[in-house]
Structure 1
Amino acid sequence: MAATGSKSVLFVCLGNICRSPIAEAVFRKMATDAGVVDKWRIDSAATSTYEIGNPPDYRGQACMKRHGVPMRHVARQVTKDDFMSFEYILCMDESNLSDLKRKGNSVKNLKAKIELLGIYDPQKQLIISDPYYGSDEDFEKVYEQCVRCCKAFLEANS
Structure 2
Amino acid sequence: MASIPSTETATKPFSVLFVCLGNICRSPAAEAVFREIVMRRGLESKFKIDSAGTIDYHEGNQADPRMRAASKRRGVEITSISRPIRPSDFLDFDLILAMDKQNRDDILEAFNRWRLKETLPSDAHKKVRLMCSFCKKHDETEVPDPYYGGPQGFEKVLDLLEDACESLLDNILNENSLILDP
Q: Tell me if TM exceeds 0.5.
A: yes
SS in 1 for 2:97: strand
Q: Which residue of 1 aligns with 2:144?
A: 129
Q: Which residue of 1 aligns with 2:96?
A: 89
Residue-by-residue CA offset, 1:69-114 (whole Å, 9 max, x unaligned): 1211110000100011100000111110101011112323344600
Task: Tell me the amino acid that sits aligned with residue 37 of structure 1.
Answer: E
SS in 2 for 1:129: coil
SS in 1 for 2:24: coil
Q: How many residue pairs get matched?
A: 155
SS in 1 for 2:88: helix
- Correspondence 1:150 to 2:165: yes
Q: Which residue of 1 aligns with 2:35?
A: 28
* 1:1-158 equivalent positions in 2, closer than 5 A: 5-105=12-112, 106-107=114-115, 108-110=119-121, 111=124, 113-122=127-136, 123-158=138-173
| Structure 1 stretches of 4+ moved >6 Å | none
Q: Percent identity?
A: 40
Q: Is there any run of 5+ residues in structure 2 with no aligned partner, and where? A: 1-10, 174-182
- TM-score, length-scaled by structure 2: 0.82
- TM-score, length-scaled by structure 1: 0.94
SS in 2 for 1:97: helix
Task: Tell me the amino acid that sits aligned with residue 124 of structure 1.
Answer: D
Q: Measure, in 1, the Cα distance between the counterparts of 2:100 and 2:70.
A: 21
Q: Measure, in 2, the Cα distance between the counterparts of 1:6 and 1:132.
A: 32
Q: Measure, in 2, the Cα distance between the counterparts of 1:50 and 1:97.
A: 18
Name the Cα RMSD after superposition.
1.3
Q: Measure, in 1, the Cα distance between the counterparts of 2:34 and 2:85.
A: 19
Q: Is there any run of 5+ residues in structure 1 with no aligned partner, and where? A: none
